[in-house]
Amino acid sequence: MHGPPLVGWLLVVLCTATGAYGLVSTRAGAAGERRAAGGDALMGLGMAAMAVPAAVLHTRPWGYALYAVVFGAAGLHTLIRARREPEAHHLHHAVGAFAMVYMALAMAGTPAATAARASAGAAHAGHAAAAHEPAGTPLLTGLLLVYFAVYVVRGAAQMVPVPAGAPAEAGGPGRAPGGRELTHACRLSMGIGMLAMLLTM
């Protein structure tokens, strides 16, 4: 990933933690919940790998192509599953997967990616990252930023505790007890991470 190394490492830590929680969650719950947790794990760990600063991980063009293939396949699989199980998180996973494909292809084609891979010193790579031109198509990047910003704001609002005496929303992700609240918090964290990755492309 281009951008400040500190931001990249913070994203690596955040996304690794959420991906690891998704892996743990695949061992419990109903079949649908386990599949959703598997999607969360793939997204979190994939985001962590892509967020590693370019000065540390010199990803060759095939690395970005691999990201695009893996997340493209995951997005198509999620869309097919969404036709059988019309749940909101399936479509969100599909949007996230295709956003990862877009970012991988955009970063693979930038001069900054080539410069970062050719750079031998961390200081020089830091200057190259700071001076890189934005990758991707501004319109598509803007649409994805709006989508994930709305997702994060709505998710944060759902996590606000319900006042005593107020009727709770049945099955609301932010109001469900225990593990569901943690799952919702992890998805919210990944949404924030996606926003940061789009902004630092």
pLDDT at residue 51 in the model: 87
pLDDT at residue 135 in the model: 72
Q: What is the pLDDT of residues 15-49, one digit of tens each?
A: 999 999 989 888 877 777 788 888 889 999 999 98
Q: What is the pLDDT of residues 100-114, one digit of tens each?
A: 999 988 887 654 444
CA–CA dist 46, 42 (Å, integer): 6
pLDDT at residue 27 in the model: 84
pLDDT at residue 130 in the model: 41
pLDDT at residue 100 in the model: 93
pTM: 0.76
pLDDT at residue 106 in the model: 87
Tell me the residue type at 59: T
- Which residue ranges in the chain fall short of pLDDT 70? 1-3, 57-61, 86-88, 109-134, 161-179
